[in-house]
């Protein structure tokens, strides 16, 4: 049983985490939010889960470093400077940083990487995602994770091989491109499909999210796993035993 503290406890993800912690049999050590010092919470927790904001990362890392408390960082929008901070702290304590804590999504990304690596550039890759009508960005962060997995499987740069927003007379598909398409409507929590299209055959790898509890449950599983690790920087692949 782990004592899990939440940074960003009053947000939607923080509330979902509290429910997931209760369901898992672990204990909620407490929570902090904007303007509150994370140090006391870090000292009384076996592990912290951070879904706050990039601006808070330095203070959060200082707190866990002072108390030698492992931390799972699910905050999005991190820049190179933030990742350098994480690298430095991971020399002393266990740190897991990820853009998505869903176990299913991370397994899907692993399968996409393997498929892209195995099938090679003769197979076209298209990533299709659908979310609720209120989502403001496209493609989704998860779609980008899948795109990165596909590009790394092929050993190419995603930035230089992306096609999206096709409209009008676009000409033939660029060889080796990874395509993105975004659909919006209704209350869809998140559907993602990666289509690998070869000559006369197709493979589709898909994941459907029904609500944000999948991310909360994945984060709790990863946080509990992190309490048993030695210092270092980890990913969800490590939690799933995918290497």
User: Which residues are marked as active site?
Assistant: 131, 135
Helix %, strand %, coil % for the chain, to 5?
35, 25, 35
Roughly what angle, to the nearest 10 degrees, separates helices 57-67 and 80-89? Answer: 0
Q: Are strands 178-184 and 162-164 parallel, antiparallel or unpaired?
A: parallel
Q: What is the largest CA-CA distance in the chain?
A: 60
Residue 179 tokens, joined: 């395509």
Nearest 5°: phi and psi at 206? -135, 155
Q: Which residues pair with 71 in a beta bridge?
A: 48, 95
């Amino acid at each position: 049983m782990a004592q899990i503290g939440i940074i960003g406890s009053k947000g939607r993800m923080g509330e979902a985490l509290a429910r997931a912690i209760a369901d898992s049999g672990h204990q909620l050590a407490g929570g902090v939010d904007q303007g509150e010092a994370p140090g006391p919470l870090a000292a009384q927790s076996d592990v912290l889960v951070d879904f706050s904001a990039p601006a808070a990362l330095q203070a959060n890392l200082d707190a866990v470093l002072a108390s030698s408390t492992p931390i799972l960082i699910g905050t999005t929008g991190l820049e190179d400077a933030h990742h350098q901070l994480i690298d430095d702290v991971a020399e002393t304590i266990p740190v897991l940083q990820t853009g998505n804590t869903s176990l299913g999504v991370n397994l899907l990304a692993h399968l996409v990487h393997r498929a892209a690596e195995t099938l090679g550039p003769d197979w076209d890759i298209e990533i299709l995602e659908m979310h609720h009508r209120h989502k403001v960005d496209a493609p989704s962060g998860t779609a980008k994770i899948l795109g990165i997995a596909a590009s790394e499987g092929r050993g190419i740069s995603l930035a230089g091989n992306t096609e999206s927003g096709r409209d009008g007379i676009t000409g033939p598909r660029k060889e080796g491109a990874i395509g993105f398409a975004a659909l919006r409507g209704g209350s869809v929590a998140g559907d993602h499909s990666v289509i690998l299209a070869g000559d006369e055959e197709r493979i589709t790898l898909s994941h459907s999210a029904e609500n944000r509890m999948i991310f909360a449950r994945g984060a709790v599983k990863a946080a509990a796993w992190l309490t048993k690790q030695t210092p270092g920087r980890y990913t969800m692949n490590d939690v799933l035993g995918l290497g």
